[in-house]
Amino acid sequence: MNPAANANLFSRLFDGLDDPKRLAIETHDGGHISYGDLIARAGQMANVLVARGVKPGDRVAVQVEKSVANIVLYLASVRAGAVYLPLNTAYTLNELDYFIGDAEPSLVVCDPAKAEGLAPIAAKVSAKVETLGPDGKGSLTDAADKASGEFTTVPRANDDLAAILYTSGTTGRSKGAMLSHDNLASNSLSLVDYWRFTDKDVLIHALPIYHTHGLFVATNVTLFARASMIFLPKLDPDLIIKLMARATVLMGVPTFYTRLLQNPALSHETAKHMRLFVSGSAPLLAETHREWSARTGHAVLERYGMTETNMNTSNPYDGERVPGAVGFPLPGVSVRVTEPETGKELPRDEIGMIEVKGPNVFRGYWRMPEKTKAELRPDGFFITGDLGKIDAKGYVHILGRGKDLVISGGFNVYPKEIESEIDAMPGVIESAVIGVPHADFGEGVTAVLVRQPGASIDEAAVLKGLDGRLAKFKMPKRVFVVDELPRNTMGKVQKNVLRETYKDIYAKK
């Protein structure tokens, strides 16, 4: 690309649009938004952001329910040169206090029902607060409706930040992954080619849009291809199966596929119009992969990505999609497996630390230069923290995580955060939180604790104590009380032993 050209993701998405009337988004209730509408609405919203004092490089923190207006806000933020910061709608005020304090946004956008609670948190960093409800209405859209749709897209360079997404850290403290305009654009364009997207495609979009999969992969790939999406507020198996008759692609997390398999309407016949089913954000059980193929005649295409890197690998569009594997490195992406202690590259089929390099790899962690330096090698490879191997055919396999990170329902859960909350409860000596295989969620968050002699604390008491302290996706699905936790000779809790002990607790009966 010409370095002098505007590298702003918005420009790259929409410049050269040949037909403004082309359908971009169809809503679940029958609304139709064209590409021209989307550009004009983003212009209106960008004008409002600028009027509220948002300058290029400023963060716009957003905790709102999924809506077309939310997509418009994302596009407008990028168009105005701001840094879009989506926050999981399940986060509590306790958690938001950290994210907003760390990112110091100039604007916070939230559900009208949360504005009062968020106001004092935003005030600490002198951020303004605007509202946007699940229906797409709020102070932000009220202002945008009166604004001009004309807006000159702010010039950005490839390495300028487009977004910050928070991810779990090895200390339990969330880290802000800084993603540039080129990180997002290059990865999406690569996926358009790799997954054979065209302007004839219709994506069933049922993912949340506060993380990489639903926001950057599903949305950006669709827009770059000039395809359209049917925009659903959430997973609705009955509706998704009906929509397959006129859609071509579904992107989901493993939960989507297990829930759809529970629906008797799913069959070869109902899936015959579809060309591609993609799964990611958590491991898809090989059993689910095989069952889906038998029921629908389609092999799910599993891929591997991270908040810090967007997508790294994908099973092939043509060729064998191997159950339990995440395929080959995407074009322009390099993947290697190294010895965790030394960083020495390992040969095929040996298990080690997965490292990746490419234009998709993030710019580092927000205001954490030491952490950035520790996880990005001098030659540009990012140490993912995932353990895995590359087999003789070149397929990448993810076999576990060196950081004990739990991925439940596609969301990163760091055990230390939950352990700290449980350990603070009266009657608890210590706790260990692990992830174990779960057909719906990939991994089920599971807590194991040792209680003080005579204490009456049990599973119900722990869950009650955590309610309101943690986002729902971080809540343990089960809590077990034991006499002692297994330890190695150094006194370190052996979570691998706990994972083995409890590996079958969520198995289908």
Mean pLDDT over 154-171 rounds to 85
pLDDT class of 168 with cuts at 50, 70, 90: low
| CATH class (in words) of the domain with range 196-299 | alpha beta
In DSSP terms, which residues pair with 390 in a beta bridge? Answer: 396
Nearest-angstrom CA–CA distance, 470 and 83: 26
Nearest-angstrom CA–CA distance, 354 and 376: 12
Mean pLDDT over 261-284 rounds to 94
pLDDT class of 169 with cuts at 50, 70, 90: very low
Q: At what angle do helices 68-79 and 35-51 cross, to 10 degrees?
A: 60
- What is the three-class DSSP state of 247? coil
Task: Tell me, yes or no, if the two domains 35-155 and 405-502 fold the same way.
Answer: no
What digits encode the pLDDT tens for the residues 70-104?
999 999 999 999 999 999 998 999 999 999 999 99
DSSP 411-472: EEE-HHHHHHHHHTSTTEEEEEEEEEEETTTEEEEEEEEEEPTT----HHHHHHHHBTTB-G
Nearest-angstrom CA–CA distance, 134 and 29: 13
Say yes or no to pLDDT of 270 above 70: yes
Sign of CA dihedral 182, 89, 68, 72: negative
Q: Counting Cβ atoms within 10 Å, is residue 456 exposed (0-12), middle (13-18) or buried (19+)?
A: exposed
Question: Measured over all CA atoms, what is the biggest interatomic distance in the chain, rounded to whole angstroms?
Answer: 73
Residue type, 451: R
HEC string of 44-65 equals HHHHHHHHCCCCCCCEEEEECC
Question: Alpha carbon 255 to chain centroid distance?
Answer: 14
At the topology level, CATH places domain 35-155 in Rossmann fold (3.40.50)
- What is the three-class DSSP state of 41? helix
- What is the three-class DSSP state of 169? coil
Mean pLDDT over 378-405 rounds to 89
pLDDT (0 to 100) of residue 241: 98
Predicted model pTM: 0.85
Say yes or no to pLDDT of 401 above 80: no
DSSP H or E segment with residue 145: helix 139-145
- For the chain, which residues make up each domain, given as ranges? 35-155, 196-299, 405-502
pLDDT (0 to 100) of residue 491: 60
Nearest-angstrom CA–CA distance, 268 and 224: 30
Nearest-angstrom CA–CA distance, 93 and 111: 13
Per-chain mean pLDDT for the chain: 94
Mean pLDDT over 340-365 rounds to 94
Q: At what angle do helices 286-296 and 254-261 cross, to 10 degrees?
A: 50
What digits encode the pLDDT tens for the residues 215-244?
999 999 999 999 999 999 999 999 999 999
At the topology level, CATH places domain 405-502 in GMP Synthetase; Chain A, domain 3 (3.30.300)
| Contacts of range 423-427, beta carbons closer than 8 Å, 24 or more positions apart | 425/457, 425/461, 425/462, 425/465, 426/455, 426/457, 427/451, 427/452, 427/455, 427/456, 427/457
In the chain, the percentage of residues whose pLDDT exceeds 70 is 96
Region of poorest pLDDT, from 285-289, 295-299, 437-441: 285-289
- What is the three-class DSSP state of 382? strand
Say yes or no to pLDDT of 18 above 50: yes
pLDDT (0 to 100) of residue 2: 44
- What is the three-class DSSP state of 371? helix
Mean pLDDT over 280-285 rounds to 82
